[in-house]
Amino acid sequence: MVQGFEEFFRTATGHRPYGYQRALAADGLPERVRVPSGGGKTAGVVLAWLYRRAVASPGAGARRLVYVLPQGGLADWTHARIGGWLDRPGLAGRVDLHLLAGPDGQNGTWRRHPERTAVLVGTHDVLLSRALMRGFADARAMAPVSFGLLNNDAHWVFDEAPLLGPGLATGERLQALRDALGTTAPTGSTWMSAVGDGAAPPPDAAPAGRRTVRRLRPDPARYVPELVAALGAAHRPGTRTIAALDSPGRAREVHAALRAAHPRQPVVLLHPYLRSAERQALVRELPEDGFLVATRALDAGSDLSGRTVFTELAPWSAVVQRAGRCDRYGEHPEGGELLWCVPPEGVGAGPEAARWLAAHEGVAVTAADLFLAPVEQPAPAAPALGGAELAALFDTGRGAAQVDAAPWVCAEERRTVFVAWRDWGGQGRPAEDEPEPGRAEQCEAPLAEVSALLTAAGPDGGGGGGSAGGAGGGAWLRDGDDGRWRRAGTADLRPGAVLTLDAAGGGHLPGLGWRPDSRVPVPPLFAGRTPPGTGCAAWVGLDQHLRETEEEARALTAVLPGLSGAQREAVALAARLHDLGKCHEVFQAKLRDNGGDPPAGLLAKSKAPWNNGVSARPHFRHELVSALLLLDGEHWHAPGADPSLVTYLVAAHHGQVRVSVRPGPGEDADTLLGVRAGDRTPPVAVSTGERFPSRPLDPAVPFRPGGAWAGLVAALLADPGLGPFRLAHLESLVRTADWRSSARHDGPL
């Protein structure tokens, strides 16, 4: 194996692997990987997993590698590097690669192929929130799919784990829960760091670069101008000077002051608070000289190097990572300069780092010296995460207890939202038929700065007031319950919120990204509603759709060896019966509305040009009807499949009817999600042999608080052969089978 890995590694990277990288390929990924900054940790773990999974023993090991960077890092670099490592050995067509960071974290295409080998690269706020079923900016209905795929048949790699804040403890506790409660296929975790914590560095993986430590002492009252003057004095023409600051606002100030002081030098501001296209262009086109002002964007995941690197005092792992950008590979014969200072707010979280740096004033230190430094790092606090908390997170139903994942994921000062800008032509609000902003329109921004901007503007953009009004027309979002546009309230300003602002009010500058102090109108990227180019192009009968979904489910589960025979049968039977509830007259009327020439008999899919997808009854959920039909009797039971599990998977296949099932807004006591007591279903015969006679419906009986449904779900969650992780994974497989059977009939519109 080792000899084959050497050639594989050389093909992918252009150089030979270090000894510890060969060991990773031979033995698999361990819990801890500690290597000095610049020592090839990313290449080591990614290529070792890839070689074992795709080359040495195809299909062995976890099929998803989840590569996690600290929030605020620019995952684009790591994503691009891994893309090259897949391409050069010819694996790009066999291994999927997805970017899940910033607005790109909302891309759900990775969920469509759970059977494929894949690498997911993202930031810990995006990935951990989804692993807790509370994904930031993730659709509530999609949360169980993300949860199921991230917690089963996956190996997590946390890059520079000490920088994850509360996410470090959360990642560890999630892994402990997976081990205790069980998963459909083994799921592990590896925590990486450039800090040794007493461990010796690998002997051949310490870069040769050296950097001389020097402290700057800017006057706190004149912090920015004096810091800029010191950076200018330290800069050497033809080299790159990097300045890393923890405050986004201060980084903007330093960037502006450097541009004014050095108008003929490249001066770039590097941070995550940009639209996706701006961020990607910036990463591709960084100059090799001049000044680079960065926030936490360089704390992990990049291979950038500079002759001169400045860092504000920060937690030790951040200092080590930033120092690792200085003369990273020994490209400067005289070495580099590592400059540091105490920021205006004081020592804060870095007293141990300050002592070590002060003790090495004027000393040329190596990556190994930084790795071995005996600097203690306090572990960030995180809320408890056990079985009870996981059960609360598992309930995503409308009206369920609101459990905010943010305290488990990131410190309060690190939380972000997504903002987009639209030109409303003086109307001050979006039109009702205006779609939500797409990923390309959105810009990630610090939650605290967005909140301050909107609160100061007042409810109507005129100043004063405590609601999230916003300048020039306010902040707007689509309500999660009724789907209508409404003005965002203060309670809506939480991590991952997607807010739409009036472009006339400013807040963004092209190429510079989020700028809360700018009142320059923002060029909006929204070009108007674009009709879908594809959709269902045929009338599809209910029986045909059920049969085709079962076919897709059996084909999918056949290539997932981690499933038991009973689990495969449950998924297949749930797929066969999942859309029984479409027999309800409300759903059939919806499919036949607005013309066309629908055939006789029960339908499952409408020919797209003729249908607007709106039910006569608000909140109508056909899967609730499916569950009621299955709960009424045992005539449909099949050997080898747990009927309770099948019923749950049928009910849950759209992510709307899962644990708590509560009425929609405005529904009376006799109505639940559009289904009324006394409604009657027609007789349904499935060609596989199941028969469902006409029957009246009363959703309140099983689904009222304390009813049979609550006990059924609780038993599945408590079943040692299932539990929350396996249960959600099976949900995701039924959902995938449904997507695929529907896609059989898609065509151009």
Contacts of residue 221, defined as CB under 8 A and 6 or more positions apart, other chains included, come to none
Reduced to 3 states (helix: H, G, I; strand: E, B; else coil), residue 622 is helix
pLDDT in tens, 663-682: 988 899 999 999 999 999 99
Q: Are 122 and 105 in contact (CB under 8 A)?
A: yes
Please tell me the predicted confidence (pLDDT) of residue 688: 93
Please tell me the predicted confidence (pLDDT) of residue 608: 66
Look up the CATH number of the domain holding residue 320: 3.40.50.300
pLDDT band with cut points at 50, 70 and 90 for residue 426? confident
Query: What one-letter code names the amino acid at 493?
Result: L
Please state the separation of Cα 542 from the chain's center in Å.
35
User: Per the domain annotation, does 403 fall within a domain?
Assistant: no
User: Per the domain annotation, does 664 fall within a domain?
Assistant: yes
Q: Are residues 591 and 707 in the same domain?
A: yes
Q: Which of the listed residues 344, 372, 400 is the one where a domain comes to its end?
A: 372
pLDDT in tens, 696-733: 999 988 998 888 999 999 999 999 999 999 999 999 99
Please tell me the predicted confidence (pLDDT) of residue 531: 75
pLDDT band with cut points at 50, 70 and 90 for residue 462? very low
Q: Which of the listed residues 193, 228, 259 is the one where a domain comes to its end?
A: 193
Please tell me the predicted confidence (pLDDT) of residue 468: 47
Q: Are residues 540 and 505 in the same domain?
A: no
Q: Are 405 and 171 in contact (CB under 8 A)?
A: no
pLDDT in tens, 104-142: 999 999 999 999 999 999 999 999 999 999 999 999 999
Q: Are residues 64 and 161 in the same domain?
A: yes
pLDDT band with cut points at 50, 70 and 90 for residue 470? very low
Q: Please determine, for residue 459, whether its predicted confidence score (pLDDT) is greater than 60.
A: no
Average pLDDT, the chain: 92
Distances (CA, A) of 426 to 130, 441, 473, 516, 682: 38, 20, 8, 21, 52
Q: Tokens for 176, please give them.
A: 């402990």
Rounded Cα distance, 414 and 446, in Å? 7
Q: Are residues 652 and 506 in the same domain?
A: no
Q: Are residues 281 and 248 in the same domain?
A: yes
Rounded Cα distance, 618 and 107, in Å? 28
Report strand pairing: 64-69 vs 32-34. unpaired
Domain count, the chain: 4
Does the pTM surpass 0.85? The reply is yes
User: Per the domain annotation, does 386 fall within a domain?
Assistant: no
Question: What is the rounded average pLDDT of the residues 460-468?
Answer: 41
Please state the separation of Cα 361 from the chain's center in Å.
41
Please tell me the predicted confidence (pLDDT) of residue 473: 63
User: Per the domain annotation, does 199 fall within a domain?
Assistant: no
What is the 3 state secondary structure string of 83-139? Answer: HHHHHCCCCCCCCEEEEECHHHHHCCHHHHCCCCCEEEEEEHHHHHHHHCCCCCCCC
Nearest in space to 367 (alpha carbons), one of 413, 426, 411, 305: 305
pLDDT band with cut points at 50, 70 and 90 for residue 479? confident
Q: Are residues 498 and 626 in the same domain?
A: no
Nearest in space to 429 (alpha carbons), one of 457, 461, 451, 403: 461
Tally of CB atoms within 10 A around 278: 17
Please state the separation of Cα 116 from the chain's center in Å.
19
Q: Are 184 and 114 in contact (CB under 8 A)?
A: no
Q: Please determine, for residue 491, whether its predicted confidence score (pLDDT) is greater than 90.
A: no
pLDDT band with cut points at 50, 70 and 90 for residue 467? very low
pLDDT in tens, 523-543: 999 988 877 778 898 999 999
Lowest mean pLDDT segment, chosen from 66-70, 278-282, 382-386 = 278-282
User: Per the domain annotation, does 529 fall within a domain?
Assistant: no
Sign of CA dihedral 434, 437, 441, 444: positive
In 324-363, the DSSP E strands lie at: 336-341
Give φ, ψ of 273 to 5 degrees.
-90, 60
pLDDT in tens, 207-226: 889 999 999 999 999 999 99
Distances (CA, A) of 279 to 49, 295, 437, 450, 610: 29, 14, 18, 19, 40
Contacts of residue 647, defined as CB under 8 A and 6 or more positions apart, other chains included, come to 627, 630, 631, 712
pLDDT band with cut points at 50, 70 and 90 for residue 466? very low
Rounded Cα distance, 538 and 252, in Å? 54
Q: Which of the listed residues 193, 218, 242 is the one where a domain comes to its end?
A: 193
pLDDT in tens, 364-383: 999 999 999 999 888 888 99
Q: Please determine, for residue 463, whether its predicted confidence score (pLDDT) is greater than 60.
A: no
Please tell me the predicted confidence (pLDDT) of residue 527: 84
Q: Are residues 347 and 272 in the same domain?
A: yes
Question: What is the rounded average pLDDT of the residues 35-62?
Answer: 95
Q: Are residues 6 and 125 in the same domain?
A: yes
Q: Are residues 475 and 501 in the same domain?
A: yes
pLDDT in tens, 590-632: 999 877 889 999 999 998 666 666 788 999 999 999 999 999 9
User: Per the domain annotation, does 236 fall within a domain?
Assistant: yes
Q: Please determine, for residue 469, whether its predicted confidence score (pLDDT) is greater than 60.
A: no
Alpha helices, DSSP H, located in 136-292: 143-150, 166-181, 223-234, 248-261, 276-284
Query: What one-letter code names the amino acid at 405?
Result: A
Please tell me the predicted confidence (pLDDT) of residue 1: 54
Alpha helices, DSSP H, located in 675-722: 700-703, 708-718
pLDDT in tens, 9-46: 999 999 999 999 999 999 999 999 999 999 999 999 99
Please tell me the predicted confidence (pLDDT) of residue 341: 96
Please tell me the predicted confidence (pLDDT) of residue 3: 67
User: Per the domain annotation, does 400 fall within a domain?
Assistant: no
pLDDT band with cut points at 50, 70 and 90 for residue 54? very high
Q: Which structural domain range is residue 126 located in?
A: 2-193
Q: Are residues 644 and 710 in the same domain?
A: yes
Question: What is the rounded average pLDDT of the residues 163-168?
Answer: 95
Q: Are residues 42 and 176 in the same domain?
A: yes
Q: Are residues 135 and 242 in the same domain?
A: no
User: Per the domain annotation, does 409 fall within a domain?
Assistant: no
pLDDT in tens, 392-402: 999 998 777 77
Nearest in space to 41 (alpha carbons), one of 78, 8, 91: 78
